[in-house]
Each structure stands twice: as structure tokens, then as C-alpha cells.
């Protein structure tokens, strides 16, 4: 059979002659694309965090001018440096959007999934390298659209990251740009998901059966299915909301809606609840898109650093698949107070209780994996161990929210914010940091500095809790999450508003705690300790490739003979047995 000839193959034959643009910008190599995704994700995480730090000033010291940067925002956002409520809303909506869709997802799925998964599968690249490149550039376009929307005359979207109608239908801010940006991001995720699943199905190395797959790959596969099937309804909803805004349709606008004392001139007949259904049909699986790759990373790091096989590998995999399936059936637990009816509430609180079971199995199995291990407390392991109790708090605080009766008083309070931030911030973000420290040697050929890594972990751990634990207390006291002044002008907020200062100071200290990471990250690229193929004495396939791996990944044939976590096998001369035998070193 003739060799397929296509544009991307033409340059393979002249590997060394690849231009800078083909090699680093418009690359089809999954590793370069993975790094592009990761850097974009990290940059947006920092940007989203910066938005939050501004909000925290307003919450702790409402009505006082923002120090240092207050004069930069102009008179229509912050006259005299004092933040207006509209500006607060804009920051809040964009913080959520950016952190979820441009920070965590690109890093956890686009970055780690792209870089690590083909290596762990023993594949030379993704199944569709050019679609992979396209998917990154759609993300980039989406990011540019979101970022540029801040410079629109009326500012960026300010209707919450959930963009509830009818407010989002009629708001004068950058909601249309938000929707267009989301359509780019959704397209990017769809292309990526098709690629991930096809790669996992088709390109596993010989001998790599499904039950020999590292848990991280399972997590990426389930995540890809969630992205593939849950995102299109939001794309549909986005198009409809865009039509509501641009073509004056009434998909989400009820009859006789009164705005500013006047009846809105629209045909009406639409349903605001419909938006919520379509949105949460995506956004609940999206929660699992944020957490599953994190669980995958933590599982790899824990197995490697406890020098033990993962406890209950099969239960972990089955739980993961069941979790993915169930995540499509719980969305309306975000909507208990919408008046959708007690039959619906009963159904969705039942499914919500059911979905907590596999989550608990996964967390328990990871804890039990530590039992009797000879644990190495290096930086990736510290972050992975930090993930476990933090995700535990996040998950357990979610249970009351899944029950309709308990949710009604807690809905829209800081308790909800505390709950999901425990899942995503000290949960997912810690896992992502663990992954960065763990796979950094494979990307660059050098290890990150351990001392700076610990200087990053311990303050981050303390201040993360300093930010988010008081939120649970405030929320239980009934402080609404929608108050632009942190509650000082509201009697019901009571005596817990004083916690705002502590939370804000913690947030700023958390920012300082990231400085060792940033220094470590860039210094180690050139000056880190040199790492060989397998600096962590790990078993999975990515560590059989050279560090950094060349285009095409492996310099030797890969034939998998064992399961993914053969650590401390009795009778073996070293405490790990790689999945495939290393021919060349």
C-alpha cells in the first residue's frame, strides 16, 4: 500500500528543516500542542485569579479605593478607584468563565491529556494530529474573544458564568462576545474529544489491554465522552441565546416581561427555565470534566510515590465509568428552587445521592492505596496528598446541596461557593500542580526544584483553606453570594462579614505563594537537575521514552506485558517493573 501523502507528512522527511513556525506554533506534535494548551491554561488561571483578587478587595473593604491599580479601570468601572457593582459583576462572571473553560479544562484535558495520554498508550501521536492542532487554535480564538470582550464599550459579560436568561438575553454588556467565545471553546472541546477517544481505541500499543490502561487514561477517556456528549446542548443553547440577543427572538423570554418598569417589546412565549436545563445539562458533566482528570493525575502520583499498586484498580475504573454515565442524570439538582416541581426534585436528588457512591469509592481506594506503602514525600506527592482531604471536604459539603430540603436555605449562599471551590481549587488545582511537578521532567528533561516546590505547597495549602473555609461558615449564616459589598449593608449577613478580611488577606497571600512556583517553573527549564528517562522509577509507558521525547515519541518498539502499577513485586530485583521491557537505555 502506498504511503499516504499529505501536507503534514511532507515535512516529516526533512525533520530537521522544520521551521520555527511549524515546530512550535502550528505544530501537529501532540507534545507541543499539550505544552501550548498548558501554557495557555496557566496564563488564564493567573488572569482569572487576578480578577478574583480585585473582587476580594471590594469584599473586604467595600467602598474604599483599590490600592495600586485602582486608577487603571476608568470612570465607568471604578471612579476614583472605587469599584462599581457592575464592574464587580463583570469580574465575577469572567472569573468563573475563565477559570472553568480557559484555565482548568485546557490544562487538565488539553494539556495533560494531550501530552501524557498518547505516551501512556505507547502511541506515536494522536489519531488526528491536524485536528489536534485545529482544536488548540479554536481554544486560542475563544480565549482571545473572551479577553477582548473586556475592551467592549459596555465591558465583558456580567451575568454570572451561568448566564441565566432572561437577564443575559437583554443585558447591554459583552454577553454576545461571551456566547461567540463559548462557541469557539465548545468546538475546540468537541474536536479534542473525538481525537482522544479515537486515539485510545485505536492506538494502544500491542498488549495494552483495557484493564492494563493507566487510570489516568481511563479518566481522560471518560472525560472525553462527557465533553463530546454534554457540550453540544450548550452550543445549541448558546446559539439560541445569541438569537435572542441579536435577532430579537424569545426563546428564553416569557410573555409580558417587565424591564425597568416597562413591558419588553418581544413576542414572548419562551421559557427562562429552558436555558437553565440546557446550561446545566452541560455544566454538571462539566464539573466531572474538571475533577476526573485530576483524579487520574492523583492516582498516578500516589501509586508511584507509595511504591504500591493502586488499591482496587478495577473498582476504580468501573466507578469512573459509572460516574461518567450518571453525571448526565443529575443536572437539575442545580435547580431545586426554580419551582420545577417536587417530582423532578425527587428524581434528581435520588440520582445525586447515587452519584456520590462512585466518588466515595474512588476517594477511598486512593486513601487505602497509601496503607502500608513506603511513601516518598516529594512535591508531586505532597500536592496529591493535599488533594485527598480537600476533595473530601468539597465532596462531603456537596451532599446537603444535593438534597432538596437542605438546598433551599443554602442555595445561592457562600456555602455553595465554598463547596465547589473546595472541589476545584484545592482539589483540582492541587492535582494539576502535582501533575506539573510529576511530568515536568518528561517535558523538559529536567526536574523542578524540590525546596521551591515545598515552599509552594505548604503556604498554598494553608491559604487555600484560609480563603475557602470561612465561606462555608458565612454561607451557613445565610450570606448571599450575589452581594457586591460582601454583605456589610445587609442586616442578615450579621456578624460573619468580618471574615471577609481574613479571606481576602489569605487570597493575596495565596498569590504570593505562587511566586516560588513561577520562579521554579522557568528556572528549572534551563537549570533544573537533569532527569533521565525515568526519574521517578515509574512503571507506565511514558517513562520508557527519552526525556524530552522526540516527534514520534518512542525510540524502541513497545510491547506491553504487564499491568500499569507493578510496584514492589516480590522477587523482583528493583521495586518497580515497567509495563514494557526497556530495550535501549
Partner 1 sequence: MEIPYTIEAHPETGLNNGKIGIWLFLASEVMLFGALFATFIMLRLGADGNWGAMQEEAELNVPLATLNTAVLIGSSLTMVMAWASLMRGQLARFRLFGWATVGCGGIFLVIKYFEYTAKFAHDHYPESNTFLAIYFAMTGLHALHVIGGMAWNAYFAGPGSKLFHRNRQWLTDRVEHSGLFWHFVDLIWIFLFPVFYLL
Catalog residues that contact partner 1 under the rule CB under 8 A. Answer: 1-5, 9, 12, 123-129, 131, 190, 193-195, 197-198, 201-203, 228-233, 235-237, 239-240, 243, 247-251, 266-267, 269-271, 274, 277-278, 281, 551-552
CB 226 within 8 A of CB 324: yes
Where does residue 268 fall: left (phi above 0), alpha (psi -120 to 50 degrees), or beta otherwise?
A: left
| Nine cell digits for residue 264 | 419588553
| Nine cell digits for residue 338 | 426554580
Q: Least distance (Å) from partner 1 to the CB of residue 193?
A: 7
CA–CA distance, 321 with 340 (Å, rounded to integer) = 29
Closest to partner 1 by CB, 271 vs 364, is: 271
Half-sphere exposure of 168 (CA within 13 A, CB side): 32
- CA proximity to 294, closest of 189, 383, 398, 190: 383
Query: How does DSSP assign 369-413, residue by residue?
Result: HHTT------HHHHHHHHHHHHHHHHHHHHHHHHSHHHHHHHTTB
Dihedral (Cα; 326, 327, 332, 335), 10-degree rounding = 140
Closest to partner 1 by CB, 110 vs 118, is: 118
Q: Least distance (Å) from partner 1 to the CB of residue 128?
A: 6
Q: Least distance (Å) from partner 1 to the CB of residue 435?
A: 26
Q: Least distance (Å) from partner 1 to the CB of residue 1?
A: 7
Closest to partner 1 by CB, 43 vs 273, is: 273
Q: Least distance (Å) from partner 1 to the CB of residue 195?
A: 8
Q: Least distance (Å) from partner 1 to the CB of residue 13?
A: 10
CA–CA distance, 376 with 379 (Å, rounded to integer) = 9
Closest to partner 1 by CB, 55 vs 193, is: 193
Q: Least distance (Å) from partner 1 to the CB of residue 221?
A: 12
Closest to partner 1 by CB, 8 vs 465, is: 8
Closest to partner 1 by CB, 66 vs 217, is: 217
- CA proximity to 87, closest of 504, 484, 490, 562: 484
CA angle, 209 as apex, 206 and 215 as ends, to 5°?
120
Closest to partner 1 by CB, 255 vs 575, is: 255
In this structure, how many other beta carbons lie within 10 angstroms of the beta carbon of residue 33?
25
Closest to partner 1 by CB, 28 vs 379, is: 28
Q: Least distance (Å) from partner 1 to the CB of residue 80?
A: 42
In this structure, how many other beta carbons lie within 10 angstroms of the beta carbon of residue 491?
6
Amino acid at each position: 500500500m502506498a504511503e499516504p501523502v499529505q501536507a503534514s507528512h511532507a515535512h516529516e522527511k526533512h525533520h530537521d528543516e522544520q521551521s520555527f513556525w511549524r515546530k512550535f506554533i502550528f505544530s501537529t506534535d501532540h507534545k507541543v500542542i499539550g505544552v501550548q494548551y498548558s501554557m495557555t491554561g496557566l496564563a488564564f488561571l493567573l488572569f482569572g485569579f487576578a480578577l478574583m483578587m480585585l473582587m476580594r478587595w471590594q469584599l473586604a473593604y467595600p467602598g474604599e479605593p483599590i490600592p495600586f491599580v485602582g486608577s487603571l479601570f476608568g470612570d465607568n468601572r471604578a471612579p476614583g478607584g472605587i469599584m462599581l457593582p457592575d464592574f464587580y459583576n463583570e469580574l465575577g462572571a469572567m472569573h468563573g468563565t475563565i477559570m472553568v473553560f480557559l484555565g482548568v479544562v485546557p490544562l487538565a484535558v488539553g494539556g495533560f491529556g494531550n501530552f501524557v495520554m498518547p505516551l501512556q498508550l505507547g502511541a506515536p501521536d494522536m489519531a488526528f494530529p491536524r485536528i489536534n492542532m485545529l482544536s488548540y487554535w479554536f481554544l486560542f480564538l475563544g480565549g482571545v474573544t473572551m479577553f477582548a470582550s473586556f475592551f467592549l464599550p459596555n465591558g465583558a459579560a456580567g451575568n454570572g458564568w451561568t448566564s441565566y436568561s432572561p437577564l443575559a438575553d437583554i443585558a447591554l454588556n459583552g454577553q454576545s462576545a461571551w456566547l461567540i467565545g463559548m462557541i469557539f471553546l465548545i468546538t475546540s472541546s468537541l474536536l479534542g474529544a473525538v481525537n482522544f477517544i479515537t486515539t485510545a481505541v485505536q492506538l494502544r500499543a500491542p498488549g495494552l489491554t483495557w484493564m492494563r490502561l493507566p487510570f489516568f487514561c481511563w479518566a481522560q477517556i471518560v472525560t472525553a465522552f462527557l465533553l463530546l456528549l454534554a457540550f453540544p446542548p450548550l452550543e445549541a443553547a448558546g446559539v439560541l441565546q445569541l438569537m435572542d440577543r441579536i435577532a430579537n427572538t424569545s426563546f428564553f423570554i416569557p410573555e409580558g416581561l417587565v424591564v425597568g418598569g416597562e413591558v419588553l417589546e418581544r413576542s414572548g412565549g419562551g421559557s427562562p427555565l429552558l436555558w437553565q436545563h440546557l446550561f446545566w445539562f452541560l455544566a454538571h458533566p462539566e464539573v466531572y470534566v474538571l475533577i476526573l482528570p485530576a483524579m487520574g493525575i492523583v492516582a498516578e502520583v500516589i501509586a508511584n510515590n507509595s511504591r504500591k499498586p493502586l488499591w482496587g484498580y478495577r473498582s476504580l475504573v468501573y466507578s469512573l465509568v459509572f460516574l461518567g454515565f450518571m453525571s448526565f442524570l443529575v443536572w437539575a439538582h442545580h435547580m431545586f428552587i426554580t419551582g420545577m416541581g417536587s417530582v423532578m426534585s425527587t428524581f434528581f436528588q435520588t440520582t445525586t445521592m447515587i452519584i456520590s457512591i462512585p466518588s466515595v469509592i474512588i476517594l477511598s481506594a486512593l486513601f487505602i492505596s497509601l496503607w502500608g506503602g513506603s511513601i516518598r514525600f516529594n512535591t508531586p506527592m505532597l500536592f496529591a496528598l493535599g488533594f485527598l482531604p480537600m476533595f473530601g471536604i468539597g465532596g462531603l459539603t456537596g451532599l446537603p446541596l444535593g438534597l432538596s430540603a437542605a438546598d433551599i436555605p443554602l442555595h445561592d449562599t457562600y456555602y455553595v461557593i465554598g463547596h465547589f471551590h473546595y472541589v476545584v481549587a484545592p482539589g483540582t488545582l492541587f492535582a494539576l500542580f502535582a501533575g506539573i511537578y510529576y511530568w515536568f521532567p518528561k517535558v523538559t528533561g529536567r526536574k523542578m526544584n524540590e525546596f521551591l516546590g515545598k515552599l509552594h505547597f505548604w503556604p498554598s495549602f494553608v491559604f487555600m483553606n484560609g480563603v475557602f473555609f470561612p465561606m462555608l461558615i458565612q454561607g451557613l449564616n445565610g450570606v448571599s453570594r450575589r452581594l457586591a459589598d460582601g454583605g456589610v449593608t445587609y442586616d442578615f449577613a450579621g456578624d460573619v462579614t468580618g471574615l471577609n478580611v481574613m479571606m481576602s488577606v489569605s487570597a493575596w497571600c495565596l498569590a504570593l505563594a505562587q511566586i516560588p512556583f513561577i520562579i521554579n517553573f522557568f528556572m528549572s527549564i534551563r537549570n533544573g537537575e537533569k532527569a533521565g528517562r525515568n526519574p521517578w522509577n515509574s512503571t507506565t509507558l511514558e517513562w520508557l521514552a527519552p526525556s524530552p521525547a522526540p516527534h514520534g515519541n518512542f525510540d524502541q518498539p513497545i510491547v506491553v506485558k504487564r499491568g500499569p502499577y507493578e510496584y514492589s513485586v516480590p522477587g523482583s530485583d528493583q521495586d518497580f517493573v515497567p509495563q514494557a521491557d526497556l530495550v535501549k537505555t
